Amino acid sequence: MENTTGLRENKKLRTRRQLAATALELFLERGFDAVSVADVAAAAEVSKPTLFRYFPSKEDLVLDRFADHQDEAARIVRDRSAGRTPVGAVHAHFLAALAERNPITGLCDHPEVLAFQQLLYTTASLEKRLAHYTDREVELLAAALETESVPPLTARLAAIHLVAVRHELGRENWRRLAAGQSADEAHPAAVADADRAFAMLADGLDKALPIATA
pLDDT digits (tens, 9 = 90+) for 107-123: 999 999 999 999 999 99
Q: Are 87 and 202 in contact (CB under 8 A)?
A: yes
Using CB atoms within 10 Å of the CB of residue 127, give its burial: 0 to 12 exposed, 13 to 18 middle, 19+ buried. Answer: middle
Give the range among 48-62, 149-163, 197-211 with minimum mean pLDDT.
197-211
pLDDT digits (tens, 9 = 90+) for 17-74: 999 999 999 999 999 999 999 999 999 999 999 999 999 999 999 998 888 889 999 9
Residues 139-146: what's their mean pLDDT? Answer: 95
Rounded Cα distance between 198 and 87, Å, is 7
Q: What is the pLDDT of residue 86?
A: 93
Distances (CA, A) of 35 to 25, 30, 45, 60, 101: 10, 7, 15, 14, 31
Rounded to the nearest integer, the mean pLDDT of the chain is 92
Q: What is the pLDDT of residue 2?
A: 56
What percent of the chain is modeled with pLDDT above 90?
A: 81
